[in-house]
C-alpha cells in the first residue's frame, strides 16, 4: 500500500539515509565546493496540484552545477528549431564520465547528449549565438520559474571554475576543431560556469522544475515553458542520460527521470504528479549524490511510483 506524501514522510526518509554520510566524497576540484559541509541533507517536493513538502536543509542554497544543463537546454529549445539543436548534439547515453573527451574524438565533435559537459557546452555555444546577454537571460528564466526574485550566481564558484577550466576548455576546443563550436571558447565557458554556479535550494529547485511534471506548464506560471512534446523529450533524456554513466543504475533503482550536479543536488520528476529535489554534497564515483540517490530510491518505493 503506497504511503501519501507528507513532511513527516520526508523527515523519515532523510533519517534513513543519513547514515550514508561519510561514505561518499564532496567534490573537491575547486576549493569553493570542497568547503561545503558534508552533513547537509535536504529534500523538497512540489505536486502538480500546488502542494509543497520539504525536510532537512531544503531551504539552504547550494551550487546547482550540472542540474543547470536542463535549464540551458530549455532555453535553447525556445530559440532554435528542434533539428538545429539535434544535428549538433545527440540523444544517446554516453556511458562515460561527464567530462570525458573520448567519444568526441571518435564521433567528429558531436557530443552524445546535452547532459554531459560537451553537450552542455554546445548548447551554451548556441545560446551565445542568439542572445546578447546569456547570463542575464538565464537569471530571468530561473527567477520566473521559481517565483523567487533574488536568485543569483555564486561568483566565487564561477571564478574558481574558470581558474580550473583546462578540461572544459579542451572539450570546447576539440569541438571547435570539428566545426561544432562557433563562438569564443572563453566567453562561452564564462556562461557555462555561471550556470553551474547558480545557487538554489531544494525548495526553489522543486518549484522551478515542476513544469517537467506538468507537460511544460506549471500551475504557478502564466505561460508554458516548453511544449508537451519537448517536455517528454527532456524527461526521456533525463531518464537515459541524467546521471552520466550511472543513468541505467539510477533508472533501475529509482525509476524516474533525474538530473544530478556535483554540488550534490538531484532533480527528479514523476510525470503528471510531482517534481522532487534532493541535496547531499557527498558524491559517488560517477559524481552523483550518494545519499540523494538513496533518498529518491526510498521515496519511490514508499509512494509506489516509477515511470517504468
Nearer to ligand GLN (CB atom), residue 141 or residue 196? 196
Opening angle at CA 282, ends 197 and 191, nearest 5: 15
Q: Angle at CA 96, nearest 5°, toward 85 and 122?
A: 25
192 belongs to the catalytic site: yes
Q: How far is the CB of 46 from ligand GLN (least distance, A)?
A: 22
The residue ranges that bind ligand GLN (CB under 6 A) are 65-66, 98-99, 117, 161, 168, 196, 261-262, 287
Q: Compute the distance between CA of residue 210 and CA of residue 299 in angstroms, rounded to an integer.
A: 17
Nearer to ligand GLN, 168 or 246 (CB): 168
C-beta of 110 vs 194, nearer to ligand GLN: 194
Identify which of residues 55 and 172 has a Cβ nearer to ligand GLN in the complex.
172
237 grid coordinates: 533524456
For the question of residue 195 being annotated catalytic, the response is: no
227-236: Cβ within 8 A, 24+ apart: 230/77, 232/271, 234/70, 234/73, 234/74, 235/269, 235/271, 235/307, 236/91
Q: Is 80 a catalytic residue?
A: no
Catalytic, 244? Answer yes
192 labelled binding-site residue: yes
Q: Which residues pair with 46 in a beta bridge?
A: 52, 275
Chain residue whose CB lies nearest ligand GLN: 66
Any known ligand binding at 244?
yes
For residue 159, the minimal CB distance to ligand GLN (Å) is 12
Q: Minimum CB separation from ligand GLN for residue 38, in Å?
A: 17
- Nearest approach in angstroms of CB 205 to ligand GLN is 14
Is 80 assigned a ligand-binding role in the annotation?
A: no
Q: Is 66 labelled a binding residue? A: yes
Q: Rounded distance, CA 46 to CA 89, Å?
A: 31
Q: Which residue matches cell numbers 512540489?
A: 46
| DSSP assignment of 56-113 | ESTTS-EE-GGGHHHHHHHHHHTTS-HHHHHTTS--S---S-TT--HHHHHTTT--S-
Find out whether 29 is annotated in a ligand binding site. no
Closest CB to ligand GLN among 88 and 259? 259
For residues 307 and 172, give the distance between their C-alpha atoms in angstroms, rounded to a whole number.
35
Q: Would you give the distance in Å from CA 29 to the centre of its chain?
A: 18
Residue 97 Cβ vs ligand GLN, minimum distance, rounded to whole Å: 9
What is the set of active-site residues?
Answer: 66, 69, 192, 244, 262
Which residues does the annotation place in the binding site for substrate? 66, 117, 161, 168, 192, 244, 262
Amino acid at each position: 500500500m503506497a504511503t501519501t506524501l507528507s513532511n513527516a514522510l520526508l523527515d523519515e526518509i532523510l533519517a534513513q539515509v543519513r547514515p550514508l554520510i561519510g561514505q561518499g566524497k564532496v567534490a573537491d576540484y575547486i576549493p569553493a565546493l570542497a568547503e561545503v559541509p558534508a552533513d547537509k541533507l535536504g529534500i523538497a517536493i512540489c505536486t502538480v496540484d500546488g502542494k509543497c513538502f520539504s525536510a532537512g536543509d531544503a531551504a539552504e542554497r547550494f551550487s546547482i552545477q550540472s542540474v543547470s544543463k536542463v535549464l540551458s537546454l530549455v532555453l535553447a529549445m525556445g530559440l532554435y528549431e528542434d533539428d538545429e539543436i539535434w544535428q549538433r548534439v545527440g540523444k544517446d547515453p554516453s556511458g562515460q564520465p561527464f567530462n570525458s573527451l573520448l567519444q568526441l574524438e571518435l564521433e567528429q565533435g558531436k557530443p552524445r547528449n546535452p547532459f554531459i559537459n560537451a553537450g552542455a557546452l554546445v548548447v551554451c555555444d548556441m545560446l551565445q549565438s542568439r542572445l546578447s546577454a546569456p547570463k542575464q537571460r538565464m537569471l530571468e528564466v530561473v527567477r520566473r520559474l521559481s517565483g523567487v526574485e533574488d536568485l543569483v550566481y555564486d561568483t566565487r564558484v564561477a571564478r574558481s571554475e574558470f581558474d580550473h577550466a583546462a578540461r572544459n576548455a579542451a572539450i570546447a576546443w576539440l569541438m571547435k576543431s570539428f566545426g561544432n563550436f562557433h563562438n569564443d571558447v572563453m566567453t562561452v565557458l564564462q556562461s557555462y560556469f555561471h550556470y553551474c554556479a547558480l545557487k538554489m535550494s531544494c525548495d526553489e529547485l522543486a518549484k522551478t522544475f515542476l513544469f517537467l511534471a506538468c507537460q511544460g506548464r506549471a500551475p504557478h506560471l502564466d505561460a508554458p515553458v516548453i511544449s508537451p512534446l519537448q517536455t517528454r523529450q527532456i524527461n526521456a533524456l533525463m531518464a537515459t542520460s541524467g546521471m552520466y554513466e550511472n543513468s541505467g543504475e539510477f533508472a533501475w533503482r529509482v525509476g524516474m527521470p533525474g538530473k544530478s550536479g556535483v554540488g550534490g543536488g538531484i532533480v527528479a520528476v514523476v510525470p503528471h504528479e510531482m517534481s522532487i529535489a534532493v541535496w547531499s554534497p557527498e558524491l559517488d564515483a560517477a559524481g552523483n549524490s550518494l545519499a540523494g540517490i538513496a533518498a529518491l530510491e526510498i521515496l519511490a518505493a514508499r509512494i509506489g511510483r516509477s515511470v517504468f
